[in-house]
Homo-oligomer: A and B are copies of this chain.
């Protein structure tokens, strides 16, 4: 072997020997089957300790470059000579990724400002959970989440949504998207899933990306059309009855009844009720759930804390009818829950101590004020009389129907030039229809209200 070692070169003697032999093998200088010098002899030749050579031989044997034969020594293993890429060589500092464009007014923004998150209470709760140093915090997670959180959610659902479920029916997961992954595995990808059109585009994309059949069901009178569900052969209808996204309509009770009847008519039909943002109803009482009126075990209820606490909190849950909860445990119980136990226990405490419901009522007030500010800004601007406000009673968005001939695409371009990002109903349509044009979707939870009056005047000028 041709290599030497240098005690002053900055690398350890061990590394130099390991690298020297490895390179000799990879460049073909040492042949397959060739015997290496004994540890003692190599140690003498390189003027290092026998232990150092022994360690290098052991490592090369563990990695498969050498074979050790008892009482006979070390031999070159059957390795194909090659020149390995030395990746550490290219050690450059990672460049920051390109930032997203900043807008003066962004009607798509879901960014929150710090006063919209209960930092102090959350930090205190998290700290008290961590400092318990309970071994429960470190245990591998059950498939459906920690019992304390599921109990707290069951209590909340009873108090605020009037539905009675057992913690065993609840599954906690890192976001509604992930729960949808589980649902597809539970119900099967041979079933046909129906999603609302217009609707939240990700819902359909997730079904398709997971290899399940997905049909877009048009809305009729505030909810999906049951006739269309039947015509398109849908088995599972994924809907937002309390507050449709993005139109904001509430599914009327007659349609809920028709939907439940449709589900009960044939085995294997289900309704997925996505109850996102039902907490923020500003007028009257919360809309009752479909889940609560279902007596046949046909409704799967879903909701998320991403909308009510912060989009960066990834905790959602679904409530399964008893028979599906059993099946879920049996077939998919091998998964670990995807939410860290620290956050699960923190949220459980946050709910149990009443912080969550206090936070909701504070946010409801704040969002109502914010909505009123946005509406005043519209009414006080040149847009007044040229834009009709629709479905503003609930949730974190509403529509403005514009009296204009300018197309959505053109209007978007003009607004972009002024630093305004618009959102249209047509953005949420799978099948474009010209009669849906000219409806702005105003998401206001993350909007900068100061610049609004000017923005609305500018929009009025563009149309």
Task: Give Cα A110–Cα B18 distance, bound, in whole angstroms.
Answer: 35
List 8 contacting pairs A-B, 8 Å CB cutoff, sorted by A: A62-B393, A63-B288, A82-B257, A87-B162, A94-B166, A126-B342, A175-B336, A314-B338
B211 touches A91 (CB 8 A): no
A177-B147 contact given A138-B117, A253-B77, CB 8 Å threshold: no
A58 to B78, alpha carbons, bound, how many Å?
82
A141 near B: Cβ within 8 Å? yes
Query: B135 and A59: CB pair below 8 A?
Result: no
Identify the stretch in A1-9, A279-287, A355-363, A415-423 within 8 Å (CB) of chain B at 4 or more residues: A279-287
Residues of B within 8 A of A113 (CB): 135, 138
A202-210, A367-375, A377-385, A430-438: which lies at the B interface? A202-210
Whether B88 lies near A164 (C-beta < 8 A) is: yes
Question: Is A123 in contact with B127, judged by CB distance below 8 angstroms?
Answer: yes
One complex includes copies of this chain to the number of: 2
User: What CA separation (Å) do A253 and B336 show in the bound complex?
Assistant: 33
List 10 A-B pairs, minimum CB-CB distance, nearest first. A64-B252, A312-B341, A174-B338, A59-B284, A112-B138, A140-B311, A174-B174, A123-B130, A64-B253, A114-B133
State whether the Cβ of A250 lies closer than 8 Å to any Cβ in chain B. Answer: yes
State how many residues of chain A have any CB contact under 8 Å with chain B.
Answer: 108
- Residues from chain B with a CB closer than 8 A to the CB of A339 are 174, 314, 340
Question: Does A311 contact B141, Cβ atoms closer than 8 Å?
Answer: yes
A70 within 8 A of B: no
Whether a CB of chain B sits under 8 angstroms from the CB of A11 is no
A9 → chain B closest CB, angstroms: 18
Convert A252-268 into 0s and 1s, putting 1 for each residue whose CB lies closer than 8 angstroms to a CB of B: 11111110010000000
A175 to B339, CA, bound (A): 9
**Contact digits for A15-57, partner B, Cβ 8 Å, 1 yes 0 no:** 0001000000000000000000000000000000000000100
User: Contact: A63 with B174, CB < 8 Å?
Assistant: no
- By secondary structure, the A interface counts as loop
- Pick from B114, B137, B181: contact of A135, CB below 8 A: B114
Interface residues of A (CB under 8 A from B): 18, 55, 58-59, 62-65, 77-80, 82, 84-85, 87-91, 94-97, 110-114, 116-117, 119, 122-123, 126-127, 130-131, 133-135, 137-141, 147, 151, 154, 158, 162-164, 166-168, 174-175, 177-178, 181, 185, 189, 201-202, 205, 209-211, 222, 250-258, 261, 283-285, 287-288, 292-295, 310-315, 331-332, 334-343, 393
